[in-house]
Homo-oligomer: A and B are copies of this chain.
Amino acid sequence: MKPGNGQNRAVIRDVYPSIDGGFYPIKRVTGEWVNVWADVLADGHDLLNASLAWRHESETDWQEAPAQAIGQNRWHGKFQVTRQGFYQYRFRGWIDYAQTWQKGIGKKIAAGLEVGVELLEGIPFLQHLLGVVEEEHQVFVKECKAEFSVGKSNPEAHLLATSPRLAELFARYPYRPFMAQSADDTRVWVDREKARFSTWYEFFPRSASSVPGQHGTFADCEKILPRVAEMGFDTLYFPPVHPIGEVDRKGKNDKTVADPGDVGSCWGIGSRHGGHTSLHPDLGDLKSFQKLVKTAKGLGIEIAMDLALQCAPDHPWVKEHPAWFKQRPDGTVQFAENPPKKYQDIYPIFFESEDWENLWDEILKVVMFWIDKGIRVFRVDNPHTKPIPFWHWLIGEVRKVHPDIIFLSEAFTLPKIMLELAKAGFTQSYTYFTWRNSKDELIQYLNELTQGPVSEVFRPNFWPNTPDINPYPLQNPSEPLYLTRYFLAATLSSNVGVYGPVYEQMVHQSVPGREEYYDSEKYAVRHWDWDLRNNITHLMTRVNQARKDQKALQQTNQIRFCHLENSNLLAFLKTGEDDSQVLAVVNLDPNQSHHGELHLPYDWLKVGHNAQYQVRDLMSEASYSWQGERHFVALNPDWPFHLFEIKG
């Protein structure tokens, strides 16, 4: 079968970025640029030209900007996204007949050949220009037309034919009767800025009371907000705040049977008090929750809600929608298990249900319910145990109405599944940072995350700890280590989070041999000193402030590790959208001072060769005047980092 128009000789191939053939969009936040590359191919020796076209989903017309040839048939174009939602982008390529003509006639004129016929051949290009150029160019183009029409070589026509002005008009108003376009399914999803730059704090509302032993309330949480804001956090994540199952409830330290008075795991959602759209009666009512959300907003803090799609045996859905749970041949409902282990307190949702459409709709309703109550950020529990196509649909549906909603994926699983969840729509993801400690591990992991297609869709959120993970190194209450791990998380990644109270106080006791906190808040009310100020809170406050002040720390992908011949010292440069730069140097050894010679990569450093430049340590306020690319650095464990702002 012949193509639609066989006169078009150009083809576009290998558009980058394009995720899974355009099935998924890439991601940006408002204000960012999208860099696109493509091969533009055609037969013969005519000059080619190319452009990048884009439009917001709400627009009919395409915008367009010229692309640049970068060699070997590869072209590069870029555009800036300014609005939330989807943009489409396409590469365009065509034979540039007018420029080919101008180049050819130029050579012939230079060789002294008669070009009367060639001049006549230029007239269609002028005719095209007359239809599109501004008033100010009309006279010029008409003059060209008159001179070319003579049909004989003449000096005036030669000058006009080869003039830069004509070349510029040809470039600005391409004559392209035939044009190739890449498929229109390459898209970018644009989030609000917080998708890229956010600082999370986590605590359990039920531990928010200032009175030891007393169950916290939303009103108690409200009192803690100023401290969270003062430390520089902008997102406050609460584990589930819904009613907790009373049937087969777990006891403290994951005990199979609860003792009287045990509050249970807040991830065991649902009871006679309600399910996913209800609140735990001991925490407060909807009104007090909404008051909390509003007060937080006034302090620059968004409350992130947990979306944990699983049910306690007494969750209302279990009775109302038996088809949403796996029914066993003996008439019981399938509880969670990891054979031979059994978790009778949790009924997983049965996504293979024949009633899956109603199930999906109901979950969408849950999310929309909380959005309606003022929630804009969801931390999603174990998304890797619910179907990928479900998330793709759910997040897509939510964003049709609310493009500003942020979903953080709590998936600790195989890399490709984590990536797939990011592709399917999750805004941010938990990562392996929690287990990347050595210099080599950190460099390798950051290179994985910040380069190539992964960096177009996966936005890491680095957490040094979570209620589920008390990492082995932090089971040693070493202050330098606690300082360093938060510093690394907050400077390597523009999205960072911490399970705060235990971190600040270096609560490190674990279930023996496991990365579980002992006496975990997951199963109990705990009491914390909400007035605590120490080196760790000081560090958090300081580095969080630096993140607010430095564009370079508000993004993750523009990072470059520096050579430093000491495996305990990690150094990296980050560059912001505004070309500002910071240099971080970290001593990874909590026990020893280390020094070494740092090599700054000139090809990345926005400073001239041999120029003097100022560096100011944002952590200590010390300033230095530097020159050249090699600098001696020394760091001791007490305050094991520099964070230099570089001023050229």
Taken together as a complex, chains A and B put the C-alpha atoms of A72 and B414 apart, in Å, by 7
> Which of A13, A383, A414, A415 has its CB near the most chain B CB atoms (within 10 A)?
A13
Q: Which 9 A-B pairs have the closest CB atoms?
A: A111-B340, A120-B329, A107-B339, A9-B387, A6-B356, A104-B339, A21-B21, A73-B416, A117-B330
Stretch of A42-50, A188-196, A438-446 contacting B (4+ beta carbons < 8 Å): A42-50
Taken together as a complex, chains A and B put the C-alpha atoms of A107 and B337 apart, in Å, by 12
**Nearest Cβ distance between residue A591 and chain B, in whole angstroms?**
36
Stretch of A218-226, A346-354, A464-472, A567-575 contacting B (4+ beta carbons < 8 Å): A346-354
Taken together as a complex, chains A and B put the C-alpha atoms of A14 and B24 apart, in Å, by 13
**How would residues 315 to 327 of chain A score, 1 for a CB under 8 Å from any chain B CB and 0 otherwise?**
0000000000000
A3 interface residue, CB < 8 Å from B? yes
Q: Choose one: B72, B354, B388; the contact of A416 (CB below 8 Å).
A: B72
Chain A residues engaging chain B, CB cutoff 8 angstroms: 1-3, 6-9, 11, 13-14, 20-21, 39, 41-45, 72-73, 103-105, 107-108, 110-111, 113, 116-117, 120-121, 123, 151, 178, 328-330, 332, 337-340, 351-354, 356-357, 360, 383-390, 393, 414-417, 420
| A352-B73 contact, Cβ under 8 Å, with A43-B388, A117-B332 | no
Q: Choose one: B110, B337, B352; the contact of A178 (CB below 8 Å).
A: B352
| A420 near B41: Cβ-Cβ < 8 Å | yes
Taken together as a complex, chains A and B put the C-alpha atoms of A420 and B20 apart, in Å, by 21
| B389 near A113: Cβ-Cβ < 8 Å | no
Q: Which residues of B contact A390 (CB under 8 A)?
A: 6
**Nearest Cβ distance between residue A297 and chain B, in whole angstroms?**
33
Apart from A13-B420, A43-B385, A117-B332, 4 more pairs, CB < 8 Å: A2-B357, A6-B360, A8-B389, A117-B328
Q: Which residues of B contact A117 (CB under 8 A)?
A: 328-330, 332
Q: Choose one: B9, B21, B330, B351; the contact of A120 (CB below 8 Å).
A: B330
Q: Which residues of B contact A1 (CB under 8 A)?
A: 393
Q: Which residues of B contact A41 (CB under 8 A)?
A: 388, 416-417, 420
| B43 near A386: Cβ-Cβ < 8 Å | yes
Q: Which residues of B contact A360 (CB under 8 A)?
A: 2, 6
For A177, the closest partner residue in chain B by CB is: B352
**Nearest Cβ distance between residue A162 and chain B, in whole angstroms?**
13
| B13 near A107: Cβ-Cβ < 8 Å | no
For A348, the closest partner residue in chain B by CB is: B44
| A388-B352 contact, Cβ under 8 Å, with A6-B357, A393-B2 | no
| A389 near B9: Cβ-Cβ < 8 Å | yes
| A14-B8 contact, Cβ under 8 Å, with A42-B388, A111-B340 | no
Q: Which residues of B contact A356 (CB under 8 A)?
A: 6-7
Taken together as a complex, chains A and B put the C-alpha atoms of A350 and B178 apart, in Å, by 14
**Nearest Cβ distance between residue A88 and chain B, in whole angstroms?**
17
28 contacts between A and B (CB under 8 A): A1-B393, A3-B389, A6-B357, A6-B360, A7-B352, A7-B353, A9-B352, A9-B388, A11-B389, A11-B420, A13-B20, A41-B416, A42-B388, A43-B351, A43-B383, A43-B384, A43-B387, A43-B388, A43-B417, A104-B337, A108-B339, A108-B340, A111-B340, A117-B329, A117-B332, A120-B329, A151-B330, A178-B352
Q: Which residues of B contact A39 (CB under 8 A)?
A: 416
Q: Choose one: B72, B339, B383; the contact of A415 (CB below 8 Å).
A: B72
| A121 near B329: Cβ-Cβ < 8 Å | yes
> Which of A111, A120, A340 has its CB near the most chain B CB atoms (within 10 A)?
A340
Taken together as a complex, chains A and B put the C-alpha atoms of A416 and B73 apart, in Å, by 7
Taken together as a complex, chains A and B put the C-alpha atoms of A386 and B44 apart, in Å, by 7
Taken together as a complex, chains A and B put the C-alpha atoms of A588 and B640 apart, in Å, by 58
**Nearest Cβ distance between residue A7 and chain B, in whole angstroms?**
5
**Nearest Cβ distance between residue A341 and chain B, in whole angstroms?**
9
| B107 near A385: Cβ-Cβ < 8 Å | no
Taken together as a complex, chains A and B put the C-alpha atoms of A73 and B352 apart, in Å, by 22
Taken together as a complex, chains A and B put the C-alpha atoms of A120 and B414 apart, in Å, by 32
Q: Which residues of B contact A42 (CB under 8 A)?
A: 387-388
Q: Which residues of B contact A120 (CB under 8 A)?
A: 328-330
**Nearest Cβ distance between residue A161 and chain B, in whole angstroms?**
13
Q: Choose one: B113, B340, B414; the contact of A110 (CB below 8 Å).
A: B340
| A414 near B73: Cβ-Cβ < 8 Å | yes
Taken together as a complex, chains A and B put the C-alpha atoms of A385 and B45 apart, in Å, by 8
Taken together as a complex, chains A and B put the C-alpha atoms of A103 and B340 apart, in Å, by 10
Taken together as a complex, chains A and B put the C-alpha atoms of A388 and B73 apart, in Å, by 15
**Nearest Cβ distance between residue A148 and chain B, in whole angstroms?**
10
Taken together as a complex, chains A and B put the C-alpha atoms of A105 and B390 apart, in Å, by 29
Q: Which residues of B contact A105 (CB under 8 A)?
A: 339
